Amino acid sequence: MKNIKDYNLEELKEELVSMGEKPFRAEQIFKWLYQEKVKSFDEMTNISLELREKLKENYTMCNFNILKKQVSRDGTIKYLFDVLDGNAIETVLMSYHHGYSICVSSQIGCKMGCKFCASTGINFIRNLTSGEIVEQILAVEQDEKLRISNVVFMGIGEPLDNYDNVINAIHILNNQKGLSIGARHISISTSGLVPKIYKLAEENIPCTLSISLHATTNEKRSSMMPVNDAYPIEELIKACKDYIAKTNRRISFEYALAKDNNDNLEDAKGLVKLLKGMLCHVNLIPINKIENGSYTKSSNEHIMKFRDYLNDHGIVATIRRELGSDIDAACGQLRRKNLEQ
Ligand code: SAH
């Protein structure tokens, strides 16, 4: 059966029209799904019984079950959701002074193989649909009775490897008749799929683009991120410059510092050389050690020195606050869990 949450408003209108209904019905349904956040068609009381029955026959609502919920000492919550086909995904809710942020997964598993990431080493199973991406937000809002203001595509998966569904999910999130989360409050993080960065620049969606850079030489970046063999640093930076020129939007570069690997002065100098003059911001992340991983965190002192060097040389850099590390919910710690786990 089709998932009703996979459709953006325009598509839902077409669906309704093809069922012989008036397009405004789609707006009513959208409101029930994303504003009232109902969990069944029966609750859509301004829709005729007959149409409700037809909807039930043709569509699911894809309400995720919570398999596990862990609360961190800092208030961060990690959910393990049953995506209703025997698979499970993780989603993280974080609380900041400016509101609630959610870190969503875009795929079940990941193909990228980054050496420092916990999502590596588990099989890639499939892309999430638009509705399954949107449902992560709905399920958390319903469970915690709150409104999420920011969405980051930094959970499991490579969002630009599931391009169409991610873009459609953003259209659903953006819609003012729905969840009404502005694109400026949405970040897409990518390991660097160059052709998709060019494509995203043409979308006219003012979301934030984050690039997982992590190294400034091809040798080092390839040793950490196999995707660099396909799209080396020069090509990645060229695509980023094109993105900035077309969108006039600041890019955020993610740089996870690993002790004695990419955290010395030479690396900081390399970063200044690479990014000088670009409309960008560097997010420094203390790398999180994963099971059997060979990378360990740089010391706080070292990270601050690295940041200061960048700031002193014209590159705006901040250190990302770590949230949820005690429940394996910090950057790069999410894994696809089996249902029986
Ligand atoms: N595939 C996308 C999004 C998922 S990863 C991407 O690569 O950007 C989200 C962010 O967490 C990325 O910047 C990623 O490089 C970073 N990350 C992954 N593993 C990490 C770890 N062990 N410690 C710190 N950051 C990590």
Report the candidate in 283, 292, 290, 291 with the shortest Cα–Cα distance to residue 319: 283
Relative orientation angle of helices 194-201 and 233-247, to the nearest 10 degrees: 10
Nearest CA to ligand 1 atom 10: 154
Return the pLDDT at 339. Answer: 55
Q: What is the pLDDT of residue 341?
A: 45
Please work out whether the CB of residue 188 comes within 6 Å of at least one atom of ligand 1.
Answer: no
Nearest residue (CA) to ligand 1, atom 5 = 154
Query: What pLDDT score was predicted for residue 338?
Result: 64
Ligand 1 centroid–CA 128 distance in Å is: 18
Which are the catalytic amino acids?
90, 331
Gyration radius of the chain over CA positions: 21
Mutate to test the pocket of ligand 1, among 133, 331, 334, 335 (most ligand atoms within 8 A of CB): 331
| Residue in the structure block whose two tokens are 């193909």 | 111
> Hunting for tokens 């590596």 — which residue is that?
120
Q: Tens digit of pLDDT for each residue in 164-205?
A: 999 999 999 999 998 999 999 999 999 999 999 999 999 999
Q: How far is the CA of 217 from the centre of ligand 1 (A)?
A: 18
In the chain the domains, ranked by start, together with CATH numbers, are 2-60 (1.10.150.530), 65-340 (3.20.20.70)
Phi, psi of 121 (to 5 degrees): 90, 0
CB contact at 8 A, 194 and 235: yes
List for the chain the helix, strand, coil content (%; round to 5). 40, 20, 40
pTM of the predicted model over 0.95: yes
What is the SS3 assignment for 74?
Answer: coil
Query: Ligand 1 centroid vs 333 CA: distance in angstroms?
Result: 8
CB 41 within 8 A of CB 49: no
Give distance in angstroms: CA of 287 to centre of ligand 1. Answer: 9
Blockwise average pLDDT, block size 10, the chain, 341 residues: 97 97 97 96 97 97 96 95 94 93 97 93 91 98 97 97 98 95 97 98 96 98 98 98 97 97 96 98 93 90 96 97 86 73 45
Report the alpha-carbon distance of residue 142 to residue 287 in Å, rounded: 32
Contact between 209 and 191 (Cβ < 8 Å):
no
Give dist(CA 132, CA 104) in Å, integer: 10
119 Cβ closer than 6 Å to some ligand 1 atom:
no
The response to whether residue 334 sits with its C-beta less than 6 Å from ligand 1 reads no
Alpha helices (H) in the chain, listed in sequence order: 9-18, 24-34, 49-58, 130-144, 163-174, 194-201, 218-224, 227-230, 233-247, 265-275, 300-312
Does the beta carbon of 191 sit less than 6 angstroms from any atom of ligand 1? yes
Number of CB atoms found within 10 A of residue 246's CB: 14
